Amino acid sequence: MKGLSQIPSLNELIKAYNVLQSQDLTEKNLLDYFQWVRFDPRLGEILVQKLFHDWKSLNPFKIYQGLQGTVWPSVMGVLLDSVQIKILKNESKSFQAWKTSILYKMNKAEFQQFFIGLSAFAGKKVSEQVENSNKIFKKWNFYGSHLLYNKEKNQKNDKSLFNKVDRLKKLNQYLCKNKNRITVNDYLKIFPVPISRRVAEMDLKNHSKLTPKGYTKNRYYIQK
């Protein structure tokens, strides 16, 4: 499986959140960030929501041209099919034509997990995602069960997950109730909507009251 030449850093992901949530979506921003969705489900949710609101202002031919030569162009197919679920009936034909212009002769991926680094390789969770994979992912030869769209009423609550103060407040509450020990997987389970594993690792690593124990997949954190 081919990959990106450089995986987005935590700071780059945070910058992407800020850019997308503070301005209208542009063709450039969409093309800059869409492949990063494989490392961060929340970024995918933000992009789907922005596409839902801004698709009419985006030039499909610029997006089509920009996709040529990208490593994972079929990720755009997953995003646009996710947006289509939310499109109103009276706009469905227009959106379909717009989407078709972007995805013209788009190749599907080789069969693989959609999200990268969120589950242990060959672990139980991966097997469950393969078995329960949603049709939006399967259409593009990906395996994935976490949908990239939310009901509108949940958007406000979801955004708070990416405020560091709110995340750490939840972390401290967890530590008070759970014997002062936590793993990255424990931390990820706190949130109803997945956050990036990279974000979770950085939160735990940089927490002033936590000390790491063990290595790699067996690592856990205890209070100092």
The pLDDT of residue 140 is 95
Whether residue 38 has pLDDT greater than 80: yes
The pLDDT of residue 195 is 67
Mean pLDDT estimate for the chain: 84
The pLDDT of residue 158 is 44
Side chain identity, residue 190: I
The mean pLDDT of 185-213, rounded to a whole number, is 80
The pLDDT of residue 16 is 93
Whether residue 156 has pLDDT greater than 50: no
The pLDDT of residue 184 is 85
User: If pLDDT is split at 50, 70 and 90, which confidence band does 170 have?
Assistant: confident
Whether residue 150 has pLDDT greater than 80: no
The residue extents of the domains of the chain are: 10-149, 154-223
Pairing of strands 112-113, 142-143: parallel
How far apart, in Å, are the Cα atoms of 187 and each of 35, 168, 181, 198? 25, 10, 10, 12
Pick among 3.40.50, 1.10.3470, 1.10.10, 3.30.70: CATH of 154-223: 1.10.10
Burial profile 30-62: b = 16 or more Cβ within 10 angstroms, e = fewer: bbebbbbbbbbbbbbbbbbbbbbeebeebebee
For CA atoms 8, 34, 134, 156, the dihedral sign is positive
For 97-146, the pLDDT digits (tens) are: 999 999 999 999 999 999 988 765 555 666 666 677 889 999 999 998 88
The mean pLDDT of 14-28, rounded to a whole number, is 91
> Structure pTM?
0.67
For 53-96, the pLDDT digits (tens) are: 999 999 999 999 999 999 999 999 999 999 999 898 899 999 99
Whether residue 153 has pLDDT greater than 50: no
Whether residue 44 has pLDDT greater than 80: yes
Q: How far is CA 34 from the centre of its chain?
A: 9
